[in-house]
Structure 1
Amino acid sequence: MHGLFRWSSKWWPGAIPLVILWAFAAWTGTAPLESDLAQRSAAALQDTVLDKTKIAVAGRDVTFSADAFSEDGRRSAVASVDAVPGVRLVNDNTRLVPEAKPFVWSAERDVVRVTLGGSTPLPASKARLLDTARGTLNGVEVVDHMGLSRGAPARFDAAALLLIDQIGKLKEGKITLSDTQVSLSGMARDLGGREAVAAALKNLPEGFSVAANEIRAPPYIFQAYKDPVAVTLTLTGYVPDNAVHAALAAAAERKFFSEKVVDNLKASVGAPSGFASAVIPALGALSRLSTGTLVVSDREVKLSGDALYEAAAGQIRAGLAKDVPKGWQATPEMSVKPAAAPVDATVCQQLFSDLLARGKIRFESGRAAIDPDSAGLLDRLIETALRCPTANIEIAGHTDTDGDEGFNQALSEKRAQAVAEYLVRAGLPAERFKAVGYGSVQPVASNDTDEGKAQNRRIEFLVR
């Protein structure tokens, strides 16, 4: 017995290297096998749509976990791994991606970034939406808060891609797709942006519809500035179309008798109803100011500046309130220009002559009714008359030779009287003015041409 123990104690230390060699051989034989099975299992899933795929191999047993987007897809993926040659057992840890009810996706824009949120149906859909947003938005930061969910409506990708294009037209706002219902809110980036979004939404895929469109347009602004130093009228902002543009430019030319019109207007959709009907009389009000600014923003007409005399300020305020269309607001903010220094009769005559050389008092054809476009010139004439308070002034009316001589004589008298009455309504003493009609007997140009006749139809101010 003792000898047997001694023999055993001699052989077991020699067995240790054999055990180590056996373990090493087993390990070196198993590791390549597991790596090979892992690679071939992954290859078997190459054409399968999954998320968060993980494969772990122990011997010939495969533990497979992934998120699948349908039950058929999940089963097919497990079967593909199970069919890999050499796999003995598949430990199935797969699950279905959660279902979203309702299926909501959104795109939200602030000043510096666009955030995509909510659910997308597949990884490829998510990547496509991100790539499109980054390409469409020209360098704007795109933040991805999208998750993956089941339950997307048919043609989801087409609808979401169209909506990403619309978020690019917004300055700020949010577009939400809930199942097949689209809701929009925010401010369009440019005039016409609201209309462009509405037009694009007509191309939503079949089955999709707009639940709410609360996109607002930026203010539709028209501005006119009268500068007495540069003697200019500068027009900026927007007009609805070329026809309105031409009408406003022509009105400005008629109403501003001496200012050069600088036209920087641009055509754009989005003008409020009644735009031209509001702007044209407002330009007439501006023409009566010494210096002033007209701002038309949506349906508000704001006029600021200096009237030439006190009565004019009251007339302009009342006229502006009366002339704006229904639903519009008039905001006159005027002061009265300080009175200019008095001048003698000679200077007064020169001032009248200079004004009437630059502009003409107009009347309705064949009548003595003064054209409202002459209001700016008449206010300048009144301002001049106020500077020579002791001078008596003859207001002389003249016509061309067309028509009956007696009619022309009467018409010239009535027109001269109409101008005198206009000055009296402004607060000037009636006894300072004498209205005289000369008919066609004192022409200043030939009556053989239309241009000459136009020069002969005139009102003159003569200081007596």
Structure 2
Amino acid sequence: MRGLFRWSGKWWPGVVPLVLFWAVAAWNNTASVEADLGGKSAAAVKDIVLDKTRISVDGRDVTFGADAFSEDGRHGALIAVESVPGVRLVNDESRLVPEAKPFVWSAQREVAKITLAGNAPLPSVRAKLMDVARDEVKGIEISDQMNLARGAPVHFEDAAVLLIGQISKLKDGKVAISDSGVTLSGMARELGGREAIAAALKNLPQGFSVSANDVRAPPYVFQANKDPVAVTLTLSGYVPDENVHAAILGSASRKFFSEKVVDNLKTSVGAPSGFVNAVIPALGVLSRLSTGTLVVSDREVKISGDALYEAAAAQIKAGLPKDFPRDFQVQADISVKPASAPVDATVCQQLFNDLLSKAKVRFLTGRATIDSDSAGLLDHLIETALRCPNANIEIAGHTDSDGEDAANQALSERRAQAVLDYFVKAGLPADRFTATGYGSSQPIASNDTDDGRAQNRRIEFLVR
């Protein structure tokens, strides 16, 4: 017995390394098997649409977790994992993605940010909507706050893509889907944007309809700025069509006799009713100012600037209510330009000549009624008369040779008197002026041409 125990004591130390070697080998083999089964299981479900896939292996047992978008997809994924060679048991921790009732989605635009929120039916659709938003509105932040959910209506993806295209037309606002209903709100970026969105909505996929479209148009703005330093009249903003565009340019060229008209106008829909009937008289008011600005925003007219003399400011303010369409609101901030220094008779005559070389006092055809387009010129002539308070001035009327001499003589007298009356109404003393008609007796051009006859029909100022 003593010998046996001695032998056993010698054997035991040799067994320990063998056991350790066997344990390490077994562990390495198990780890290799688990890694192999994990990789094969992941490959088995890679073509199945899943979200948050989770696979872990313990020996030959696989725990499979994922969010599936249909019962068929979930069941198919389990079968695929169970069919992996070497898998003994599959512990199912998969679930269906929650169903959204109603299925809602939205895209909201702030000035420099677009947020996509609500639900998307698949990861691929979610990614596509983000890509579409980045392409449609470049250079601003796109925030993804979408969740994945089941229950999307048929053609949801097409409807959402179309609506993202409309968010680019908004300055701010929101487009949304609730099941098959579409709603829109906000402010269009440009005039015509609201109409463009409405036209695009006609292409919504079958089954979708517009529940509410509360997109507002931006104000319809027309602006005119008279700059006496640059001697320009700058027109900007919008007009409804080319006919109105031409009418406004023509009116501006007649009313503003010395300024260069700078045309920056664009055509766009959305003009309020009566637009041209408000803009043209507003330009007439601006033509009577030495410097000023006109802004027509929808049905609100704002005019500011300096009148050439005190009575002109009073006349302008008194005439505003009756000169504009009833549904337009008119605000006028009219001050008076400081009076210019007096001049002698010779300089006064030169000033009259300079003004009348740029434009003529116009009358209605065959009548002694002063055309409203001449209001700006007349105010400048009155300002000149105010600068030579001691001079006596003859207002001379002339006609062309068409018609009877007696009729032309009478017409020239009435026209000269109409101008004198305009001056007296402006506050100038009547005894400083005489109105004389010369008929067709003093032509300055040939009466054989239209242009010559037009030159002969004139009002002159003669400083005595």
Q: Same fold (TM over 0.5)?
A: yes
Q: Does 1:374 align with 2:374?
A: yes
Q: What residue in structure 2 maps to residue 87 of structure 1?
A: 87
Q: Secondary structure of the equivalent of 1:219?
A: coil
Q: What residue in structure 2 maps to residue 231 of structure 1?
A: 231
Task: State the Cα distance separating 1:460 from its structure 2 match.
Answer: 1.6
Q: What residue in structure 2 maps to residue 171 of structure 1?
A: 171
| Structure 2: gaps (5+ residues) | none
- Cα distance in structure 2, aligned partners of 1:345 and 1:168: 65
Instruction: State the Cα deviation string for residues 303-340 of structure 1 (Å, max 9, x = none).
Output: 11111111211221233332232332211101111222
5 Å-filtered alignment, 1:185-196, equals: 185-196=185-196
- Cα distance in structure 1, aligned partners of 2:4 and 2:64: 53
Task: State the Cα distance separating 1:209 from its structure 2 match.
Answer: 2.2
- Cα distance in structure 1, aligned partners of 2:350 and 2:459: 15
Task: State the Cα distance separating 1:137 from its structure 2 match.
Answer: 1.9
Q: Secondary structure of the equivalent of 2:390?
A: coil
- Cα distance in structure 2, aligned partners of 1:208 and 1:7: 91
Q: What residue in structure 2 maps to residue 308 of structure 1?
A: 308
- Cα distance in structure 2, aligned partners of 1:308 and 1:11: 126
Q: What residue in structure 1 maps to residue 126 of structure 2?
A: 126
Task: State the Cα distance separating 1:273 from its structure 2 match.
Answer: 3.0
1:241 partner amino acid: D
Mean CA deviation greater in 157-166 or 319-328: 319-328
Q: What residue in structure 1 maps to residue 396 of structure 2?
A: 396
Mean CA deviation greater in 357-366 or 404-413: 404-413
| Structure 1: gaps (5+ residues) | none
- Cα distance in structure 2, aligned partners of 1:400 and 1:351: 25
Q: Secondary structure of the equivalent of 1:202?
A: helix
TM-aligned CA distance change 1:362 to 1:57, over 3 Å: same
5 Å-filtered alignment, 1:155-166, equals: 155-166=155-166
Instruction: State the Cα deviation string for residues 163-216 of structure 1 (Å, max 9, x = none).
Output: 222222223322222222222233333333233222222222122222333333
Mean CA deviation greater in 152-161 or 74-83: 74-83
- Cα distance in structure 2, aligned partners of 1:345 and 1:29: 119
- Cα distance in structure 1, aligned partners of 2:319 and 2:425: 15
Matched residue pairs, number? 464
Task: State the Cα distance separating 1:241 from its structure 2 match.
Answer: 2.6
- Cα distance in structure 2, aligned partners of 1:269 and 1:429: 50
Q: Secondary structure of the equivalent of 2:229?
A: coil
Superposition RMSD on alpha carbons, in Å?
Answer: 2.2
Task: State the Cα distance separating 1:69 from its structure 2 match.
Answer: 0.7
5 Å-filtered alignment, 1:436-455, equals: 436-455=436-455
Mean CA deviation greater in 180-189 or 92-101: 180-189
- Cα distance in structure 2, aligned partners of 1:108 and 1:369: 59
- Cα distance in structure 2, aligned partners of 1:100 and 1:449: 83
- Cα distance in structure 2, aligned partners of 1:328 and 1:77: 69
Q: Secondary structure of the equivalent of 2:81?
A: helix
- Cα distance in structure 2, aligned partners of 1:435 and 1:155: 82
Mean CA deviation greater in 252-261 or 224-233: 224-233
Mean CA deviation greater in 98-107 or 11-20: 11-20
Q: What residue in structure 2 maps to residue 428 of structure 1?
A: 428
Q: What residue in structure 2 maps to residue 280 of structure 1?
A: 280
Q: What residue in structure 2 maps to residue 259 of structure 1?
A: 259
Q: Secondary structure of the equivalent of 2:182?
A: strand
2:429 partner amino acid: P
Task: State the Cα distance separating 1:430 from its structure 2 match.
Answer: 2.7
- Cα distance in structure 1, aligned partners of 2:2 and 2:72: 71
- Cα distance in structure 2, aligned partners of 1:357 and 1:27: 109
1:358 partner amino acid: K
- Cα distance in structure 2, aligned partners of 1:427 and 1:153: 77
- Cα distance in structure 1, aligned partners of 2:5 and 2:217: 101
Q: Secondary structure of the equivalent of 1:306?
A: strand
- Cα distance in structure 2, aligned partners of 1:428 and 1:25: 120
5 Å-filtered alignment, 1:319-358, equals: 319-358=319-358
Task: State the Cα distance separating 1:5 from its structure 2 match.
Answer: 6.6
Q: What residue in structure 1 maps to residue 209 of structure 2?
A: 209
Q: What residue in structure 2 maps to residue 29 of structure 1?
A: 29
- Cα distance in structure 2, aligned partners of 1:228 and 1:36: 86
Q: With structure 2 as the length reference, what TM-score do the two structures score?
A: 0.93
